[in-house]
Amino acid sequence: MAETVFSLVTQYGAYVIFASAFLSCLALPIPTSLIMLTGGAFVASGDLTVWTVGLSAYFGAVLGDQTGYFIGRTGGVALKDRLAKSPARAAVLSRATTLVDQRGGQGVFLSTWALAPLGPWVNFIAGATGLSWARFSLWDILGETVWVTVYVGLGFVFMDQVATVAEIMGDVIGLIVALSLAAASALWIRAVLRAKSERRAVQSAN
């Protein structure tokens, strides 16, 4: 995988970085993080400029996020229900919905980097559930700025260990996602139990 990515970045430079960032935001299984790290390594070696890599990744990601948002906005609940017919998609859509419902724009921000696996689905859900475009865009722009800075920076600093860093970052993000979902589930269970307790108290009082 790493050798293929290195070859693609060597041959196509900014074009493959832009395309990978854009398509990954539409839930296509592309190793964008590894490509970003590789772009940073090429900056360190002098083969690419930081502006070329950074702006290609940034605009590709923002455009991809915006596309996902407007697919959700135009497709709405009907498209969401159609996608949810697949159990795997239903599960990830449920997680994305919980994140947007609970965090709003902050959920969009987190999904661009800290909870990246949920990112494409959060974009879709934000559009489908009516999160305002201005609010979505603000938090999306901030989040993608963090994402590009972190990955290009890591590739630049650890240019000789790109594949290893990519693996470590994948494990870290996976852990963050798991912990976040566990926390959200715990809060939901707590809210349900509290609501039941309050109803029982009201019934007892009557």
The pLDDT of residue 191: 56
Q: Which residues contact 135 (CB under 8 A, 6 or more apart)?
A: 104, 105
Per the prediction, the chain carries an average pLDDT of: 81
Residue of higher predicted confidence among 141 and 88: 141
Indicate the burial class of 198 (C-beta count within 10 angstroms; 0-12, 13-18, 19 or more). Answer: exposed
- Cβ–Cβ contacts within 10 Å for residue 4, how many? 10
Tens-digit pLDDT profile for residues 155-168: 787 665 555 544 54
Q: Which of 49-63, 81-95, 128-142 has the lowest mean pLDDT?
A: 81-95
User: Distance (Å, rounded) from C-alpha 150 to C-alpha 101?
Assistant: 27
Structure tokens at 41: 């390594």
- 106 confidence band (pLDDT: 50, 70, 90): very high
- Reported as a single tens digit per residue, the pLDDT across 143-159 is 999 999 988 888 787 66
Q: Whose CA is closest to 111, among 67, 66, 177, 170?
A: 177
**pLDDT (mean) for 110-117:** 86
In angstroms, rounded to a whole number, what is the distance separating the alpha carbons of residues 39 and 17?
Answer: 7
Q: What is d(CA 152, CA 158) in angstroms, rounded to the nearest whole number?
A: 10
Digit-coded pLDDT (tens) for 1-56 = 567 776 888 888 899 999 999 999 999 988 888 888 888 888 888 888 999 999 99
